[in-house]
Amino acid sequence: MKTRVFVTFENEFAPLGGLAAVMRVLPKRMAEQWHGPCVTITPFFREIMKCRPEILELICSTGITVPVTFGKDTHAIEVWHHKDAQGFTTYFIDSPEFFNAPCDCGDPPDVNAPCNPYSNPEDPSQLLRDALFFCVAVPRALVELQFTNDLVLCLQDWETACVAITAKQEHRLASVSCVLTLHNSYDRSVSARDWRTMMTQRVSGRTVLTKVAAFLDGPICTVSRHFARELGQDTVQRKIFAPHLQNIFRKHTLRGIDNGMFSTLDFPREARDHAVQGRYRPLLLEKGTRRREMVKQLTEYVTPRAWGSLDFTGFDGPVFLFFGRDDPRQKGFDVAAAAIQRVPVGRARYIFTPIPGDEGIEGLVFLKRLAEERAGEVKVFPFRMAQGYRTLQRGVSFVVLCSFYEPFGGATEGYAVGTPVVARATGGLVQQVVPYPAKSLTGIVRKLSGRYHSVSASPTGFLYHEAKLNVKTTEHGWRAILECGYWPRQDRVVERSSIPVFQSMVEHAATALQDAMELYETDQTEYARMIVNGFHMLDNFSWDTTIRQYQEVFTTL
């Protein structure tokens, strides 16, 4: 009987984004349906986990300590474990010199201690060093835990990919198969010097993933069918993010396996039942209640770290929520800001909750300027909100995802709380959002959506996509956007506003926002139907289906 081991850098105890959301659910659901052992192994981010003392108290040492050679030094690792109420076990690798990403447990956390497992502001090189050390330590820990035979190692992203090499070099591990799942197309260059800290064996390739490819088994998986398609065909992925991976993708083949739903359905059953029967008043009354709770939360949540203000006096129009980690090469907060500037004053209210990324608070200056220009209309919380975020999701009229690319996407988070979605037609969002027939529904959007939704499918939100430009202009434009050449001289909106691809994205995003405003202002019944359709869309993303498709991959190993 094979043992499944999920090897992940991010985890539910030290979360940041989508990977932690997947790892919170998938391994446990796999364990329920798999008759053999199934566990997770992950770094022990002690500084981050201390913010949850009730969980930290339940993490116990296994009593296993073992030396690990890394470069010229030998470091001791200690293996800890946590067993949840259902008996699922997570193992943690702890070492004093590693996994020390700083964390301030305040709300909001200090900017120099952002509780980000991928970032230490005082030591930018720590991530690569932590990742390589983790990949050396994992096989040693598996041996000591007596997981030594018939292993399927489910590796998550580049940070854990090198386990495919280190595990197969560990002679005490017998019959090891390694499957890699990419939650995005990130890779990392690795110098010969850095590589030698992990092993003396030379392996061809300039990056982690190009070095690891020959040691992987089976297809390379990713988290949605459409993102798998984009990795080999979309200009952003094929020409800019992953040109060096195209031969690897062709050799291994890509398998898009859709994630299941991260959130549980959070809307009163009675209101849903009435709405399914065409009686929408209870549903709209519930949304009204949630809006009032949101306004109350915004009034009471006072912090000098926030920017801007929201005036709801006499205002009953739509409210939009923009969320996610501020990756200037992915999330499109700058597109959103520029699009709002094209919308007439007074039509809506806008809430941003960007978690600062590599550029820190300084990288979000364009949102601060927008909040100043649109006083009373824009509020920005440039930090991870520990409290109140769920209330915002429940109370807003629409959640918005202006992503340049989105492997899976967070549309289902909106549907689960009764909030429709406005999104760029990319990645998993194409599968999750059935577009409403409005001005934003261009021929390009119809074609993309048509791969997954019939013409008669019930709308769950609004999709937009920039116009098709010639190949040279498109590639040059995306390269200019993603090179982030503005930093640190200017803010990204100023720099990118001269790029035709960006201009087109902004234009179509503004159209989609105004389409959503018009629907909300003029047809509350249709808006309610959209909410109900979102509830139904959740049925399309089942963890049971996800697990079955992974099991199909495992049976080929």
Cα dihedral 352, 354, 359, 361, rounded to 10, equals: 60
Token digits of residue 211: 């070095």
CATH 3.40.50.2000 positions along the chain are 3-260+544-554, 269-540
Token digits of residue 244: 């060096």
For 447-498, the pLDDT digits (tens) are 999 999 999 999 999 999 999 999 999 999 999 999 999 998 888 999 999 9
For 229-262, the pLDDT digits (tens) are 999 999 999 999 999 999 999 999 999 999 999 8
Is the model's pLDDT at 109 over the cut of 80?
no
Look at the alpha carbons of 452, 454, 455, 460 in this order and tell me if their dihedral is positive or negative. negative
Give 411's contacts (C-beta < 8 A, 6+ positions apart).
399, 401, 421, 423, 428, 429, 432, 433, 460, 461, 537
Name the residue with higher pLDDT: 541 or 18: 541
Average pLDDT over residues 355-379: 94
For 398-441, the pLDDT digits (tens) are 999 999 999 999 999 999 999 999 999 999 999 999 999 999 99
For 371-391, the pLDDT digits (tens) are 999 999 999 999 888 778 999
pLDDT, averaged across the chain = 95
Report pLDDT for 122: 81
Confidence band for 357, pLDDT divided at 50, 70 and 90: confident
Q: In whole angstroms, how far apart are CA 553 and each of 110, 154, 220, 221, 292?
A: 43, 11, 10, 9, 47
This prediction's pTM: 0.94
Average pLDDT over residues 60-70: 96
Confidence band for 121, pLDDT divided at 50, 70 and 90: confident
For 502-538, the pLDDT digits (tens) are 999 999 999 999 999 999 999 999 999 999 999 999 9
Confidence band for 53, pLDDT divided at 50, 70 and 90: confident
Q: Which fold has domain 3-260+544-554?
A: Rossmann fold (3.40.50)
Is the model's pLDDT at 30 over the cut of 90?
yes
Report pLDDT for 557: 86
- The answer regarding whether domain 269-540 maps to CATH 3.40.50.1860 reads no
Is the model's pLDDT at 82 over the cut of 90?
yes
